[in-house]
Amino acid sequence: MLTRLLSLFFLVLLLVGPARAQDLLTKRNGDEIAVKVVEITPSEVKYRRADNPDGPLISIWRTDVFLIRYANGTKEVLSAPPAAAGGGVPVSGAAARAAFPAEVPTISNAAPDDAILDEPIRLDGPRIGFTVLSAGVLEKARESVPGLSPFLTQFGWQFESRLFRMPNGVSGLAEFVPLVGGLEQGKFLPSISGLLGIRGAKGFEFGVGPNLTPLGANLVLAMGTSFRSNGINFPVNLAVVPGSGGTRISLMLGFNARHR
């Protein structure tokens, strides 16, 4: 009999233990979600739902989160709670939901808490790199720029806007990149690229759009990733401009800080 009781006790511990190994996130609108918090940044809270621990990484604005109660019993207040109209005392969850309706839209095939973060984010910053011209492109370029070398340095600026961000971390981007090449050769070769692209949750990105130079108009294909340190992003991008006369390949580096 004692053996059966001990077995039942340990079985209950096994069942109850995982249920408690979760965090409780309370939004400013009063909603409470059982989650596993993955990361808290200066602007976002990233988590996975406790009922789907292997599911997509979900992000919400930090300002939309009031409190996080962690599985170990500690708690962290991230923003001011919603207050009653009379005396500034926090109201109940039901009253808070009535007074502070959800401000972030959701997608139809996701749970209500899987918000799309659709406020534009800008990531502007300088770019430096180099471009290599194929033989055909170089021959055409020398018709208007005699003595041009096939290796060009590039200096410019990248204007980037994040158009939206999905719950799984995938973002939509719009970029505008003006550059000046050939300064090391005493040349002034401007180029302008406009790209629409996608950035994955882990930073890999891909974009496509028009490219304009004194040689004409072409299509540019770009891919790359970003490394983050101390709140600064360090993007690395490879761009290819194919054409009937040959190909231009550019490698660009830079840095930027996020701002709205």
Q: What CATH number does the domain containing 174 carry?
A: 2.40.160
Which tens digits make up the pLDDT trace of 29-38? 888 899 999 9
Which tens digits make up the pLDDT trace of 39-80? 888 788 989 988 888 888 888 888 889 999 998 888 888 877
Cβ atoms of 114 and 57 within 8 Å: the answer is no
Both 128 and 250 in a single domain?
yes
- Does the predicted model carry a pTM greater than 0.85? no
State the average pLDDT over residues 220-242: 89
Task: State the residue for tokens 């040959």.
Answer: 246
Instruction: Show which of 99, 129, 158 is a domain's final residue.
Output: 99
d(CA 20, CA 16): 6
Q: What is the CA radius of gyration of the chain?
A: 26
What domain count does the chain have?
A: 2
Query: Residue 83: CA atoms inside 13 Å, Cβ hemisphere, count?
Result: 7
The DSSP element (H or E) to which 96 belongs, if any, is helix 93-99
**Helix, strand or coil, per DSSP, at residue 56:** coil
The range of the structural domain enclosing residue 56 comes to 18-99
What was the pLDDT predicted at 82? 58
